Each structure stands twice: as C-alpha cells, then as structure tokens.
Amino acid sequence: MASHGEEDLVASTTAGFKVGEKKTLAEYTKLDQEDESLNRWKASLGISNSPALPVDPSDTRRCIIRSLGLEVEGRPDIIIDLTAPGELEKLKSRPFAIKEGAKFRMKAVFKVQHDVLSGLKYLQVVKRNGLRVGKDEEMIGSYPPNTEEKPTYEKKFAQDDAPSGMMARGHYNAVSKFTDDDGHTHLKFEWAFDIVKEWR
C-alpha cells in the first residue's frame, strides 16, 4: 500500500547489538547438559523434553499467527480467527469501534514450528487522513517450537488509552507487522478503527 511506506515498519535497533549465532533446537537441547544454570536458562526459554507438535514439512513458516484479539475494559473481547479463510482481508473494511478514552490492549495467539524463533516483534503504524499519528513497537520475545504440553503461545500487549476529545474522534488506518531478529516478516496486514463518542 503506497500510503504506508515500508520505512515506517522498520524495527528499531540498538547500537552495537549483534544477533547471536543461530543454533537449532537440537543444538540448544544438547548444549552443556550437565550445566545446571544453563539448564535453568533453557527451561526459561521453554526448551523442554515434551514431544514436539507434528509439523507439515511442506509448510516452511517458522511462526504462524493464529488469532488477533482486542481487549477493551468492560467489553467482550473481539477475536479475529486468522485460520478462517478471508478474515485477514476483512480487517481493513470492518473497522473496530473504540470509545474515546477507553483502555484497551491487543493480544496475539501464535505457533512456532521447525526451530527456535529469535526476537519476535510487533510493529504498528497508525495514520489519519494520510498523516502518521502513531508508531508502536513491542518486543514479544524468543520462543522454541510448540510442544504437546504447550501447543500455542499467547502475548498480551501493553495496555493503551484511546485518544479522547472531539478532534480525536474519527477514522484511523493502521498497518501492522510481526517480524523477528532475522528480518523475516511473519505477518503483515492492514486494519482500521474508529474512535467514537459512545459505544455502538
């Protein structure tokens, strides 16, 4: 989409930071098995001996975003099931209504497969009348492939306050992207929301 330049959806970087050497899940599991502190570190990453979920070898995706949700204080959650055909495409044409000043947060349910996913991030750019009015970036973290014990992951983002006042009310367009330390884009989508005076 021309109105959302790719430069808007670039993750921030820390000067001097280099992504560590890539290791497979098997390499992490075998890494210094007698080292108790390293074993605690691996457990904190979720690397366990639980059987891995079966994976279709022809599906090369490392991260699959299964659903997106909007939690608004005092209202039922809105959940978009991205496994249903056409749901992602509907997001742009069916804007969410958010009451001005309401507290809300987004959440995502996702699955990791094949190998460890390093530095998953969520980026979002919001525009109104073609002008950028906000950019958010949230670090989600690093995750091993899902197991039978843990078939999906859920991440709730930081709570936010909807803008308020007559000037803030109206229609907003957004572009969001899930990316990682390797620069892979796992999902990119456009969506819209309306800031309204009262709930519809």
Measured CA to CA, the distance from residue 139 to residue 2 in angstroms comes to 26
Least confident of 29-38, 77-86, 147-156: 29-38
| pLDDT above 90 for 23 | no
Mean pLDDT for the chain overall:
86
Residue for token digits 């094949």? 114
Instruction: Using DSSP, state whether 137 is helix, strand or coil.
Output: strand
Burial class for 48, CB neighbours closer than 10 Å (0-12, 13-18, 19+): middle
**What would the DSSP string read from start to end of 154-177?**
EEEPPPEE---STTT-EEEEEEEE
**pLDDT at res. 2:** 41
Q: Tens digits of per-residue pLDDT, 39-56? A: 666 666 656 667 778 899
CA 186 → CA 117, 122, 176, distances in Å? 11, 10, 11
Contact 119, 90 (CB under 8 A): no
Q: pLDDT class for 104, splitting at 50, 70, 90?
A: very high
Q: Tens digits of per-residue pLDDT, 160-193? A: 999 999 999 999 999 999 999 999 999 999 999 9
**pLDDT at res. 74:** 85
Contact 29, 47 (CB under 8 A): yes
Q: Which amino acid does the sequence have at 61?
A: R
| pLDDT above 80 for 1 | no
Instruction: Using DSSP, state whether 87 is helix, strand or coil.
Output: helix
Contact 62, 112 (CB under 8 A): yes
Average pLDDT over residues 67-85: 92
Which tokens belong to 154? 């859920």
Average pLDDT over residues 27-39: 66
Average pLDDT over residues 7-12: 71
Residue for token digits 């950028």? 132
Give the distance from CA 141 to its chain's centroid: 10
**pLDDT at res. 36:** 73
**pLDDT at res. 11:** 72
Measured CA to CA, the distance from residue 100 to residue 5 in angstroms comes to 28
Residue for token digits 């022809």? 58
